[in-house]
Chain A
Amino acid sequence: NAGVMQNPRHLVRRRGQEARLRCSPMKGHSHVYWYRQLPEEGLKFMVYLQKENIIDESGMPKERFSAEFPKEGPSILRIQQVVRGDSAAYFCASSPRGATNEKLFFGSGTQLSVL
């Protein structure tokens, strides 16, 4: 049973380009969460999605960032017009039902570097 799969592992972008980060949850999981880990900071919640729905995006920056989790395919975190401050590790997690007492299972992350 494969775990949470994220790709790419490393992504390099120049300022102003777009970054697309992909996350496939564990088999049987329909709830996806995105977290960001900035250098020298802890992980911070960004967004919570179920299939075709954004449930909580309270941690997402208001501009340039968007997320989706379509009916088919992986969840995508999209960052438009990247800036150096977007350089971070982006982690995706999933859970089976989104229940309060469930563990979250994390992927290996995508390290985004903005030149």
Chain B
Amino acid sequence: KQEVTQIPAALSVPEGENLVLNCSFTDSAIYNLQWFRQDPGKGLTSLLLIQSSQREQTSGRLNASLDKSSGRSTLYIAASQPGDSATYLCAVKKEGSGNTGKLIFGQGTTLQVKP
């Protein structure tokens, strides 16, 4: 059974710091891994999608890496800003789930960036 774990559950950093959020999954048979951002009372915004054949993806100050064999992904946020404060979720699409869109989510890391 695929399980997705995110550590830490919460993180508080001063503005300007670089930080890393961690995601691990128990079954390496995945199609892809996606990082989302969730703001309180709002939906999920897709940040980065890494296919299983890729090692990393970058968008602006965000960089996500994937080590499929070890079941790990990291989301690196450079020069953090108060506007980055949100809950960050990672989700994997398991092989064999075909095109069902069935993502398995971690519990999230709640980030607070202090001005």
On A, residues with C-beta under 8 Å from B are: 4, 6, 31, 33, 35, 41-45, 48, 55-56, 58-59, 91, 93, 95, 98-101, 103-109, 111
Contacts and interface: CB of A to CB of B under 8 A. Distances in A.
A33 to B, nearest CB: 5
A109 B98 CA distance: 25
Which 9 pairs of residues, A with B, have the shortest CB-CB distance?
A106-B44, A108-B43, A56-B100, A42-B105, A43-B105, A98-B99, A106-B43, A33-B101, A45-B102
A105 B43 CA distance: 9
Contacts of A105: 46
A55 B99 CA distance: 9
Interface residues of B, number: 27
B34 A41 contact: no
Contacts, number: 68
Given A100-B93, A107-B43, A55 B100 contact: yes
Interface string B47-90: 00101000000000000000000000000000000000000010
Contacts of A93: 44, 101
Nearest to A50: B99
Given A48-B100, A55-B100, A98-B99, A103 B34 contact: yes
